[in-house]
Amino acid sequence: MANKKPRAGVAKSAAGTRMSADRLLHASQEAVEGLRERTETGHRAAGRTPPSENSSARTSGAHRAIDTSIREILPTTEDAKLLQQPGPRADFTRSDPWRVMRIMSEFIEGFDVLADVEKGVALFGSARTGPDDPQYAAAQETARLLAEAGFAIITGAGPGIMEAANKGAKLGNGRSIGCNIELPFEQGANPYVDTLINFRYFFVRKTMFIKYSNAFIIFPGGFGTFDELFEALTLIQTGKIYQFPVILFGRHYWAGLVRWLQSRVLSERKISPGDMDLMLVTDDPQEAVDAVVAAYDAQLDAARRRMEVR
């Protein structure tokens, strides 16, 4: 009797949903709407009308400038257009080279505006976190202490944890920097940002976070927060940056991730034992600040030794 081929299983998403091309498209649309909802919730929790609901009125935040010269009618972000497959040859030569110039201009603007930032810390977390959330208060206090220690505070400029951090910077009489990103809807910037830069491209913005920060503090958040977390860890692991603290704030929130990294990723030797020491987990603003200050002092000592060797 001939062996029968094993029956192929039905592909399912991580949520257990049967997958198809239509479902994937629908999930993508739901993801954007979910991001919009979380951002709007963060603005409302702070007592503001979300810019996406009132984009025609002037608010104390960033506003997208629509460049119609290389933009389709559909409200597609520049990041999305860059990552799309190129169209006809004529279309490629007309648009992508200009995008390269635009990308270069974003780098130049970011470098120019932030050139004098010698001590900076980037704080990340959910846009949905409201002022009555303990994590909001913790982010505000952490940023205040850092500002008093002479560090500029850098965030994504939005509501929630980002707003708390920028507010803490102002309370600590420090520099409050916001790196806003173009989204399919108007995100706006929180009112506590005193230096605002608008970016169309995520990778340019991420470069600014890394280049002008001496540490990352990661508060509870979603995919965007995870992206910044693992971006920093990858750069440390590959020797691109060093003596760079990555601080996970909120032991309970991050406990599941840490356990999974230890029990699955580390046990299968996908990472090394020392990689787990790249992250500090804390619930104490002062402990987070002390770790940042200690690392900064170590960075200065290492720089002095390198100069002496030369």
Instruction: For each of the domains in the chain, give its residue range(s) and CATH number, in order of start.
Output: 119-309 (3.40.50.450)
Choose the weakest-confidence range: 151-155, 211-215, 298-302.
298-302
Predicted local distance difference test score (pLDDT) of residue 243: 85
What's the confidence (pLDDT) of residue 61?
40
Task: Name the least confident of 13-22, 126-135, 182-191, 287-296.
Answer: 13-22
Higher pLDDT, 44 or 172: 172
State pLDDT tens for residues 201-253.
999 999 999 999 999 999 999 999 999 999 999 999 999 988 899 999 999 99
pLDDT of residue 247: 96
- Tens of pLDDT, residues 20-71: 667 666 766 776 777 778 788 888 888 888 887 875 443 344 434 434 343 3
What pLDDT is stored for residue 254 in this prediction? Answer: 97
CB 174 within 8 A of CB 147: yes
- Greater pLDDT, 21 or 272: 272
pLDDT category at 90 given cuts 50, 70, 90 is low
Average pLDDT over residues 248-268: 96
Q: Given this model, what pLDDT does residue 50 score?
A: 86
